[in-house]
């Protein structure tokens, strides 16, 4: 089974730090992890290189994990479309933390992200994150404010739901 695992969220929410936890929750072992932050170059070069690696993985039918902000829905929709065409299982994990916590974490990085960019991405997710729930994919939602907590998972077999802070009210999806 080929898998495309998209890990989404603004900078500073813990996407890269918790890849092993997310894979474990999904019952997967994928070694092809594409993380723009781990690539060389400017932010733009890192993003372009990572996206190229995603498309190369799909073309070569190799499972992958892609950590990204998922801010560009056109790109995300194109990735999902190409995965479906190549018979990949699509999994999306979204990580959350409060803006203040994300900003504190980013200051400690080797490559800090400008504060205005972080604020913009956080505002974007606050208003747009719920649209991921409509995608034909296995979904995992995490709160990483203090501990990395799985709030919601939707697989083909079941839905698990635990109350907690997130970008939107997840309770209506818990039925």
Taking residues 49-66, what's their average pLDDT? Answer: 97
Give pLDDT tens digits for 79-129. 999 999 999 999 999 999 999 999 999 888 776 678 888 898 889 888 888
Top CATH class of 2-166 equals alpha beta
Phi-psi region at 127: left, alpha or beta (left = phi > 0; alpha = psi -120 to 50) = alpha
Q: What pLDDT digit, counting tens, does each position of 7-31 carry?
A: 999 989 999 999 999 999 999 999 9
Residue 71 neighbours by CB under 8 Å, 6+ apart: 121, 124
| Residue-range domain boundaries for the chain | 2-166
| Whole-structure pTM value | 0.92
d(CA 145, CA 101): 7
Residue 51's beta-bridge partner residues? none
Rounded Cα gap, residues 92 and 160, in angstroms: 15
**Which residues fall within 8 angstroms of residue 72, CB to CB, at 6 or more apart?**
none
């Amino acid at each position: 089974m080929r898998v495309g695992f998209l890990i989404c969220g603004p900078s500073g929410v813990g996407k890269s730090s918790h890849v092993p936890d997310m894979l474990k929750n999904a019952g997967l072992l994928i070694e092809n992890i594409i993380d723009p932050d781990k690539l060389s170059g400017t932010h733009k070069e890192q993003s372009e290189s990572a996206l190229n690696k995603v498309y190369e993985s799909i073309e070569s039918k190799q499972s992958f994990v892609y950590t990204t902000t998922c801010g560009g829905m056109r790109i995300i929709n194109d990735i999902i479309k190409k995965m479906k065409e190549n018979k990949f299982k699509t999994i999306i994990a979204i990580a959350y933390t409060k803006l203040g916590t994300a900003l504190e974490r980013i200051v400690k990085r080797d490559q800090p992200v400008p504060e205005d960019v972080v604020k913009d991405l956080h505002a974007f997710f606050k208003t747009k994150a719920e649209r991921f729930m409509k995608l034909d994919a296995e979904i995992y939602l995490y709160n990483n404010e203090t501990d990395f907590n799985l709030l919601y998972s939707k697989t083909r077999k079941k839905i698990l739901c635990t109350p907690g802070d997130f970008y939107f009210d997840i309770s209506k999806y818990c039925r």
